[in-house]
Amino acid sequence: MDHHSTSKTPVTLLGLGDMGTALARAYLAAGHPLTVWNRTPGKAEALVREGARTADTAAGAVSVATGPVLLCLLDDASVDEVLAGAELNGKDLVNLTTGTPARARERARRSGERGARLLDGGIMAVPPMIGRPETGGYVFYSGDRELFERHREMLEVPAGAMFVGGDPGHAALYDVALLSAMTGMFAGIAHAFALVNEEKDLDRPRFARLLTDWLGAMAGSGLGMAAQLESGDYTEGVVSNLAMMTAGNRTLLDTAADQSVDPRLLTPYMELMRQRVAQGHGDEGLAGTVGLLGTG
């Protein structure tokens, strides 16, 4: 491929793990000139055959970058390590590595001191969804809005692009909040399978479909919780009150005991529900448990 024959923004990509490789393929497919670097060199070989250029070092890749530099590495520590050795003056950095909001803010500040601009991203997609808009994958972005607007077309190549504010920590915060909710959901799924898994003649695929549909139907309760947190009235529109749910928790725990299942994935949240009822809020929904989690 002739890199000078396209008007598409040149992209530099640091990190060719599962996600980085998917991003690289999306940019090549869209005709962007692409320079890649990976700590372990072999991972770039196939992409070079597909049209990418490769750099020997991360610092070398950054120094010749004329467009945005994307980072998709393992974690915050790897990003800081890679950026430490590079000359960043005048560069536009887009970090797509999952990290903490605090580290994103700190990195944006330090990048600014070194003459670079930073957009922080949180990818809400798995690699097979990259470059396939119909799957609904997207990336949260926050930080430098001008940088986001300038490169928006390029950013939208692998997945949808959603800007969530000028605070560079907000993309990471939204990302981690959604991943945390997902972790709780996985815990619930594990407990549900533990309850039924030893049963004779269990139709696992059928049970899985029922479980998936039920979780989908219940997930919308987050919207009601948001309305209650906005208004401050946690009894607004309640159809399943906390006193009833807390009584029902006894049934959940008794069933776990009968099925010889450890209830430890459920009990921490049940304890919060119980606390809120004990505070005299049995007529509320679940919104009151949010405040009980604050440690500040």
Interface contacts to ligand NDP, rule CB under 6 A: 15-20, 38-40, 43, 72-75, 78, 81-82, 97-98, 123, 126-127
Name, in order, each residue with C-beta under 8 angstroms of 294's C-beta and a sequence gap of 6 or more: none
Contact 24, 166 (CB under 8 A): no
> Which residue(s) pair with 120 in the sheet?
95, 142
State in angstroms the smallest separation of the CB of 71 from ligand NDP: 9
State in angstroms the smallest separation of the CB of 175 from ligand NDP: 8
> Which residue(s) pair with 53 in the sheet?
35
Contact 96, 69 (CB under 8 A): no
131 backbone φψ class: left, alpha, beta (φ>0; ψ -120 to 50)? left
Q: In terms of CB distance, is 19 or 242 closer to ligand NDP?
A: 19
Report the half-sphere exposure of 147 (CA within 13 A, side-chain side): 25
In this chain, which residue has its C-beta nearest to ligand NDP?
17
| Cα 187 from Cα 182, distance rounded (Å) | 9
State in angstroms the smallest separation of the CB of 62 from ligand NDP: 13
| Cα 215 from Cα 192, distance rounded (Å) | 11
Report the half-sphere exposure of 118 (CA within 13 A, side-chain side): 28
Say which residue the tokens 């459920």 belong to: 266
34-37/11-14 β-pairing = parallel
| CB-CB neighbours of 98 under 10 Å | 18
State in angstroms the smallest separation of the CB of 177 from ligand NDP: 14
Q: In terms of CB distance, is 127 or 282 closer to ligand NDP?
A: 127
H or E stretch including 139? strand 138-143
Instruction: Using alpha carbons, select from 241, 250, 230 the residue that is nearest to residue 277.
Output: 241
| Cα 47 from Cα 50, distance rounded (Å) | 5
